[in-house]
């Protein structure tokens, strides 16, 4: 017995795609339905040593029932919110489903990354819990000593509970009726620290989005498709893509702790080989990390022939990095050459908006840089230089996309860049208890993504974030166009370059912040960066900020934070003492002070040049 299978009329690229339906209408009953349909399928959890624990979906039903009883014993009922901060994937997944089955609304939260930033972490955590009106905070036992003050700081939180205690259970609960209109969980975005916004994810939006994802990927539990993920489960890609979607579909999945992958990147492809995984996903930086850490004597022994999908999303994709990854593992480990699958998504659209079709080669357009930067037109390059734009495929069936001018809000023709706007059953109802932010997110019924891109042959090409766009001398330059080439400079840590603009004397000026390798010379890197940008873009760099490893700000999911980097730069607090070429006094650097310093830099440059 399996999910119902029907054929629908969506024909991207001339192919008729077989449409499959989830095993259940809501996530609350998905485990039970998958247990009945696929009794031998389930989830495997690794610990930090690589030791594995397997649960069939039926065993997960039993275990989540026990934990749901413990939650009911705490007085939690349908509609109550519960924060979850858990390090171990096993405890997170089982407790998450326990809450869902009881109708309690989970609020996944990331654990503290380091004690050095604990004050900022606690401030953000308390704001999220306060806006969510959470009643209980579930956390790993080892985090109790760090989080104990939350109960006093957040009026709604009445108890901090060790996640391990849920294994004790309680009296058998009465499971409520759950509909597609009910809230499944709240997904807090990893952007602004001052105003956290909780995306409302309903059982209906999950059902619609998972159907689009799994149909496009042609996932089939009857053919023994298997997922593999090291992604953090408090983030939408890891949670929805590898916990919720497989549960809705009856697909087995294995989980590597995120910290284990970061410490031992080879664990990703090694597990894929041993587990015979067919699908995995990661942000772009992971491709480069896995390729750099791969040992020649190891990868020859890996068999990645079953790994038909390596999805890449969360930020614009560097085609060169993707090609290098495929070349390495296809030649040495038999990974299919068409495995890379670009994806586009956002939390406000549940997870994914569009995906390249499974089995198709990554599509890249070579675009004339002058026409694109000056006019926003993505026309075919005819000269020696070109921008590479990667297709993220067509939007899911039953959903709509249009590109509009950020200034006039008029719809743009194909091949013209503008803001990506979206409609459809995957779109969030709004932000939790935040009508003002919800209204700002929509215009005339369309969700404003804040992303820039264009349509070509019915497919979405994402070019960057609207707020990250760098405008220099009338040219619109996307930061990754600058960042990607600079990563190749000797001494620069790949995936750790940020480009942004700041106010200058008469126009915006370019600043580069990057992390260096331990043995690299700061001045040599600055000169190489300045020279590369001058040759490639014909602009002068106002400053090159060279930092030690780990000092560029990143989100909880590992993405570089350009706006926060810019903010810290303007405050004079980016990086450590002495890491800056100038202005490293640590004093606040206001806009006025920056402009004043910009004038001095220009004067000094002119005098030196003479």
The DSSP symbol for 466 reads G
Dist CA 404 CA 411 (whole Å): 4
Q: Looking at the structure, do residues 117 and 156 belong to the same domain, yes or no?
A: yes
CA-to-CA separations, 41 to 250, 303, 306, 366, in angstroms, rounded: 7, 22, 18, 43
> What is the pLDDT at residue 19?
52
Q: Looking at the structure, do residues 192 and 280 belong to the same domain, yes or no?
A: no
Q: What burial class does residue 539 get, using C-beta atoms within 10 Å of its C-beta: 0-12 exposed, 13-18 middle, 19+ buried?
A: middle
State how many domains the chain has.
3
Determine if residue 491 is left, alpha or beta; phi over 0 gives left, psi from -120 to 50 gives alpha, anything else beta. Answer: left
> What is the pLDDT at residue 494?
84
CA-to-CA separations, 232 to 88, 257, 574, in angstroms, rounded: 10, 8, 26
Q: Domain end: 212, 242, 257, which one? A: 257
**Nearest alpha carbon to residue 280 among 272, 288, 270:** 272
Report mean pLDDT in 10-residue bins for the chain, 610 residues. 40 49 90 95 94 97 98 98 95 97 96 78 92 97 91 94 95 95 91 73 97 93 94 93 96 95 93 97 89 88 96 85 92 95 95 92 92 90 86 96 93 96 98 95 95 96 84 74 86 89 71 90 90 80 88 76 81 58 37 41 33
Q: Looking at the structure, do residues 221 and 281 belong to the same domain, yes or no?
A: no
Q: Looking at the structure, do residues 444 and 479 belong to the same domain, yes or no?
A: no
Residue 354, domain CATH: 3.40.50.12780
Taking 3-state DSSP, the helix, strand and coil percentages for the chain, each rounded to the nearest 5, stand at 40, 25, 40
Residue 506, domain CATH: 3.30.300.30
Q: Looking at the structure, do residues 500 and 441 belong to the same domain, yes or no?
A: no
Q: Looking at the structure, do residues 382 and 454 belong to the same domain, yes or no?
A: yes
**Who contacts 477 (Cβ-Cβ below 8 Å, separation ≥6)?**
373, 469, 470, 471, 537
Q: Looking at the structure, do residues 367 and 381 belong to the same domain, yes or no?
A: yes
Q: Residue 384 belongs to what domain range? A: 264-468
Q: Looking at the structure, do residues 157 and 227 belong to the same domain, yes or no?
A: yes
CA 40, 43, 46, 52: dihedral to nearest 10 degrees?
-20
Yes or no: say if 307 and 278 are a contact pair by the CB < 8 Å rule.
Answer: yes
Q: Looking at the structure, do residues 386 and 312 belong to the same domain, yes or no?
A: yes
> What is the pLDDT at residue 370?
86
């Amino acid at each position: 017995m399996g999910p119902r299978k029907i054929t629908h009329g969506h024909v991207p690229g001339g192919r008729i795609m077989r449409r499959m339906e989830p095993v259940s209408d809501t996530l609350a009953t998905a485990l039970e339905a998958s247990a009945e349909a696929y009794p031998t399928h389930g989830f495997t959890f690794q610990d930090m040593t690589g030791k594995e624990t397997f649960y069939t979906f039926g065993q997960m039903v039993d275990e989540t029932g026990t934990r749901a009883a413990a939650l009911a014993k705490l007085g939690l009922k349908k509609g109550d919110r519960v924060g979850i901060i858990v390090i171990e994937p096993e405890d997170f997944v089982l407790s998450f489903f326990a809450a869902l089955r009881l109708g309690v609304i989970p609020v996944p939260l990331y654990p503290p990354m380091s004690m050095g930033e604990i004050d900022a972490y606690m401030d953000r955590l308390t704001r999220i819990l306060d806006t969510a009106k959470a009643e209980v905070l579930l956390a790993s036992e080892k985090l109790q000593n760090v989080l104990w003050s939350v109960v006093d700081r957040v009026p709604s939180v009445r108890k901090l509970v060790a996640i391990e205690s849920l294994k004790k259970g309680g009296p058998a609960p009465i499971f409520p009726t759950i509909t597609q209109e009910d809230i499944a969980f709240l997904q807090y975005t990893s952007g602004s620290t001052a105003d956290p916004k909780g995306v409302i994810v309903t059982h209906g939006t999950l059902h619609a989005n998972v159907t689009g994802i799994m149909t496009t990927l042609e996932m089939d539990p009857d053919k023994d498709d298997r997922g593999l993920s090291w992604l953090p489960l408090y983030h939408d890609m890891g949670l929805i893509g590898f916990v919720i979607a497989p549960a809705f579909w009856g697909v087995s999945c294995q989980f590597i702790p995120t910290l284990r992958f970061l410490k031992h990147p080879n664990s990703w492809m090694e597990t894929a080989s041993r587990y015979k995984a067919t699908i995995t996903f990661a942000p772009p930086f992971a491709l480069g990390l896995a390729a750099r850490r791969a040992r020649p004597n190891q990868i020859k022994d890996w068999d990645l022939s079953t790994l038909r999908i390596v999805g890449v999303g969360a930020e614009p994709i560097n085609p060169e990095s993707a090609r290098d990854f495929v070349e390495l593992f296809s030649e040495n480990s038999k990974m299919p050459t068409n495995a890379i699958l670009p994806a586009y998504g956002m939390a406000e659209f549940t997870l994914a908006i569009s995906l390249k079709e499974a089995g198709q080669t990554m599509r890249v357009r070579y675009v004339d840089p002058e026409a694109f930067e000056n006019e926003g037109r993505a026309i075919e390059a005819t000269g020696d230089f070109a921008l590479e734009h990667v297709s993220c495929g067509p939007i899911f069936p039953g959903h709509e996309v249009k590109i509009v001018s950020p200034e006039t809000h008029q719809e743009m023709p194909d091949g013209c860049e503008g803001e990506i706007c979206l409609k459809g059953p995957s779109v969030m109802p709004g932000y939790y208890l935040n009508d003002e932010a919800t209204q700002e997110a929509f215009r005339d019924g369309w969700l404003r993504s804040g992303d820039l891109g264009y349509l070509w042959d019915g497919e979405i090409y994402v070019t960057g974030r609207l707020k990250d766009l760098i405008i220099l001398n009338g040219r619109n330059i996307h930061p990754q166009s600058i960042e990607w080439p600079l990563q190749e400079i000797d001494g620069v840590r790949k995936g750790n370059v940020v480009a942004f603009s700041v106010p200058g004397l008469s126009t915006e000026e370019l600043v580069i912040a990057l992390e260096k390798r331990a043995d690299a010379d700061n001045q040599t890197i600055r000169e190489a960066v300045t020279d590369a940008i001058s040759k490639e873009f014909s602009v002068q760099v106002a400053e090159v900020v060279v930092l030690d490893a780990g000092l560029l700000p990143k989100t909880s999911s590992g993405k570089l934070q350009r706006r926060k980097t810019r903010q810290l730069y303007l405050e004079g607090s980016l990086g450590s003492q002495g890491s800056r070429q100038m202005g490293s006094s640590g004093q606040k650097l206001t806009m006025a002070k920056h402009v004043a310093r910009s004038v001095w830099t220009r004067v000094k440059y002119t005098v030196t040049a003479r």
